[in-house]
Every structure is written in structure tokens, then in C-alpha cells.
Amino acid sequence: MPVTLDRDISKQLAEAVKAAAMARTPLAITGGGTKRFYTGMAQGERLDVTGHRGITTYEPTELVVTARTGTLLTEIEAALAEKGQMLGFEPPHFGPSATLGGTIACGFSGPRRPYAGSARDFVLGATIINGKGEVLRFGGQVMKNVAGFDVSRLMVGALGTLGVLLDISLKVLPKPAREITLSFELPSAKAIATMNAWAGTPLPISGACHVGDTLYIRLSGTALGVRAAHTRLGGEPVGKGDQFWRELREHERSFFQDSATLWRLSVPPAIAPMPLPGKWFIDWGGAQRWLKSDSPAAEIHRAAEAAGGYARPFTDALPTQVFSAPSGSVLARLHRQIKQSFDPAGVLNTAVRQ
């Protein structure tokens, strides 16, 4: 059994960034490599963060865990599970070597997201190395903290382009006492309407998705609460519900094995089924829709925008510009200026698409 040593290599990492900034050498920040299918490989000298690891504080009664970013996600989740707690945003791993840093840098959230919160919602604080090699700490270990700008949350989903993440403090949640999964045979239009109608009522829902002709609902809470909700909703209990939601989260369901390109559409949840050819797996109660389609990218982007959202290929196989604002726009300019304010020499993951 390999011994994983908790280590703080922040000094070495900061020095490496400082040197890179002076020489203007691009850096490619690497963790466990599990999200590379999405980000592509950044150009530049490798800056390996995996040696910076260990849970530094975990206080179940404060609902806070702080860990170095090279720590394996599995290690953190195991520590939480031991105390009957969990990460509320149910992050996908996409591989056994997934680290906390990559998880937060990509900001992906699982099926529980609309009901418990997103990755960013659970970040309380972060220590980063900015593009000048300075070690900076923002936020803290408390949820209510409005001193200064919300830089720690800005790091979530920033793909390492604003700073090397060193450690993150996360709010944790108690694991629900009971969880069950129910299924209902419904076509997608009816399923979307139903998921959203139920989300507007006080039911203990923690997951809602539709694929093929089946709507799946996860109920989480106290034993009595879940039982009462089941009685109210009806539906067929699904055995091994945990496995179902994990396979959805990790893209291991058969839907994801299809050879067509995988697109992620983020749209208002109650939008009717979208007029795009292909197969759909509708998650987040309608707000995150996975599409397997070989339609032209422009068509998919157009449909997503018309629905009030946006689309992104969930793979770097397509050379499409991911950040959909036209490059001359105010929004694009603001992004460049924000990037520059953290990384004036442009060394941090700069070739990664944003």
C-alpha cells in the first residue's frame, strides 16, 4: 500500500511561479490529470501540484474542512464520510487520481447541485499563488465573510488561469439519514414540467433527471420525511439508487458511451425539450442537459442561446471557441483585464481555453 505523505510544498511552488513570471515562461498547472479531456493540455513547463497534499483542518461541528489542493478527492470524501458528512455539491471525479485542486479549478458539480448548491457555493476560502508568485489568502473558514472582494469564489471554474490553488476551505453538509430513488415513465416534455413543478414545492428532492422515457427523482432527508414524500409522489422505487446517481455523475451510464460528441447545455430548467437532433440526458431538474449530437456547433450554440443559456462541448476534441462572448466585446475585455490583474506576465495556464 503506497504511503501518501502529507506535505506542504507551497514555498517551492511559489518560487517556481515567481521564476516563471520573471522569465515569462508559461506554466501548465497539473494535478491528477482527470479533467484533461475537458481542458486540453496547457502549453508550458509543468507545475505539478500533487505533492502539496493533506487535510489541514477538519471540524465536523463547524461544518468546515480545509485541505491542500493536491489531496485526492477520495481521501477528503472518506474523511467526511467517517463523520457522517459529505461535499454538498457532489463533484464528479472522472478518475481515481482526481484532486481537490482540479475539482475546484474546473468547478463541476453533480446531480445534487440545484438542491444543495454548486462547487463555488461551498468554497469559504482559498490560498493561492498569483501570477507574480505571491502567496495570498482570501476568504477564511467561516461562511459569512464579506471583507474585500470574493476572490476565493472567483477561483472556482477559472481553470487555473488566475492563480495556482494551494488550499481550499469548504463548507460541508451532514449526510442525509435516508435516500431513495424513484422512477416514473414519462416523455421528456412532461418530465421537465414535473421536475420543475415539484421543485417549487417543499419536497426533500436532491436529484432529478430524465433519460429515454424515464424520470428519476432522488429524495433525501429523515426517514419519516422521505417515506412521507414517497407516499405523496408514488413512482417505482429504484434499487441501487446510489449507483445510478454515481454513474450519472461520473458519466458511466451507457448514454455517455455513444460515439457522438458530448455537449453540455446550461439552460433555464423549465425550458421545453430543445429542437436539436441527438440523444438527451437531462440533469439538474432540467438546468444541465447532456446532448450526444453531431450537429454543427453553430447550431447547438444558437439553440442554447435562444433558450437563454449556453452550450459547451464537453471535450477538447472540437476546436470551437468555448467562451462565447465575441472577442471584441466588453465582457471579453473585462475577462482579459481580470486575468492580467492576477497574472500580468501571462504564465498561468494561459493556453487553456477559457
Partner 1 sequence: MNHLCLTLDSLDFTQTMNTPLPQQSLKHQTARLNLAATLRTFLPATSVLATKEDMQPYECDGLSAYRRLPGLVVLPETIEQVQRILKLCSEQDVPVVARGAGTGLSGGALPLTEGVLLALGKFNRILEIDPLNRTATVQPGVRNLAISEAAAVHNLYYAPDPSSQIACSIGGNVAENAGGVHCLKYGLTVHNVIGLTFITMDGERITVGGKGLDSPGYDLLAIMTGSEGMLGVIVEIIVKLLPKPERAQVMLAIFDDIEKAGDAVSVVISHGFVPAGLEMMDNLAIRAAEDYAKVGYPVEAAAILLCELDGTNEEVSEGIAQVRELLLKQGATEVRTAKDDQERLRMWAGRKAAFPAVGRLSPDYYCMDGTIPRKHLARVLKKISDLSRAHGLAVANVFHAGDGNLHPLILYDASKPGELEKTEELGGKILEFCVAVGGTITGEHGVGMEKINQMCVQFTKEELAQFHALKAAFDPKGLLNPGKAVPTLSRCAEFGRMHVHSGKLVHPDLERF
Q: Which of residues 224-253 bind partner 1 (CB under 8 A)?
A: 224-225, 227-229
Q: Which of 350, 336, 332 is nearest to 21 (CA)?
A: 350
Residue written as cell 436532491?
A: 206
Q: Which of 217, 342, 345, 352 binds partner 1 (CB under 8 A)?
A: 342
Contact by Cβ (8 Å): 179, 81:
no
Q: Is 117 in the site for partner 1 (CB under 8 A)?
A: yes
The count of residues interacting with partner 1 (CB under 8 A) is: 85
Q: What totals of helices (H) and strands (E) does the chain contain, helices first? A: 12, 17
Q: Is 221 in the site for partner 1 (CB under 8 A)?
A: yes
CA 231 to chain centre: 33
For residues 274 and 121, give the distance between their C-alpha atoms in angstroms, rounded to a whole number.
Answer: 28
Residues 187-206 that bind partner 1 (CB under 8 A): 193, 196-197, 199-204
Q: Is 292 in the site for partner 1 (CB under 8 A)?
A: no
For residues 55 and 77, give the distance between their C-alpha atoms in angstroms, rounded to a whole number.
Answer: 11
Q: How far is the CB of 208 from partner 1 (least distance, A)?
A: 13
15: which 3 cell numbers? 518560487
325: which DSSP letter? S
Q: Which of 258, 314, 257 is nearest to 92 (CA)?
A: 314
Q: Is 112 in the site for partner 1 (CB under 8 A)?
A: no
Q: How far is the CB of 85 from partner 1 (least distance, A)?
A: 8
Select 148 or 239, whichever has its Cβ closest to partner 1: 148
Q: Is 173 in the site for partner 1 (CB under 8 A)?
A: yes
Q: Which of 45, 48, 77, 134 binds partner 1 (CB under 8 A)?
A: 134
Q: How far is the CB of 84 from partner 1 (least distance, A)?
A: 6
Q: Is 259 in the site for partner 1 (CB under 8 A)?
A: no
Q: Which of 142, 189, 306, 318 binds partner 1 (CB under 8 A)?
A: 142
Contact by Cβ (8 Å): 229, 219:
yes
Q: Which of 88, 106, 92, 107 is nearest to 39 (CA)?
A: 106
Q: Which of 33, 40, 60, 95 binds partner 1 (CB under 8 A)?
A: 60
Residues 82-111 that bind partner 1 (CB under 8 A): 84, 107
Residues 15-44 that bind partner 1 (CB under 8 A): none
66: which 3 cell numbers? 480545509
